[in-house]
Amino acid sequence: MASYTGPLLTTVLARAGLVLNNASFKNDILRQFVTVAGSDNYQATLSLAEIQPDFGNVRAILAYAKDTQPLGQDEGAVRLIVPGDHLAGRWIGDVTQVIVGTPLGTP
């Protein structure tokens, strides 16, 4: 099993100011999502609550190294790793975009 190194996705989102809380809605964080896209247009969407420490606490990371070595060309400079995804369906190689939002029609 490989060991990946990188910051938590929640840390990156917080430092970038991408997590916005609307205090007028109870548990606003439950209504938000994060979509991560790669250079091959493959994308995965996670619930923002799923990755927050005080809710789901899935420790998704934006990895830049694998087994202490920089990621290979086939993986790109940064790769989304979602622990617990046994089929790696939400592991995105060569991350190019991260979007935080709410479903359409939601205030």
Order the strands of the 33-38 sheet from edge to edge: 43-47, 33-38, 95-101
pLDDT at 3: 93
Collapsing DSSP to helix, strand or coil, 42 comes out as coil
- Are 52 and 58 in contact by the 8 Å Cβ rule? The answer is no
pLDDT at 73: 87
Beta strand pairing call for 69-70 and 79-81: unpaired
CA distance 25 to 106: 11
Tokens of 57: 């606490």
Give me the residues paired with residue 79 across strands: 63
pLDDT at 103: 72
The per-residue pLDDT string of the chain (107 residues; one tens digit each, 9 = 90 and over) reads 789 999 999 999 989 988 766 666 777 778 889 999 999 999 999 999 999 888 899 999 999 999 999 999 888 999 999 998 888 889 999 999 999 988 766 65
From residue 19, give the alpha-carbon distance in Å to each of 9, 62, 98: 11, 16, 12
- Are 90 and 46 in contact by the 8 Å Cβ rule? The answer is yes
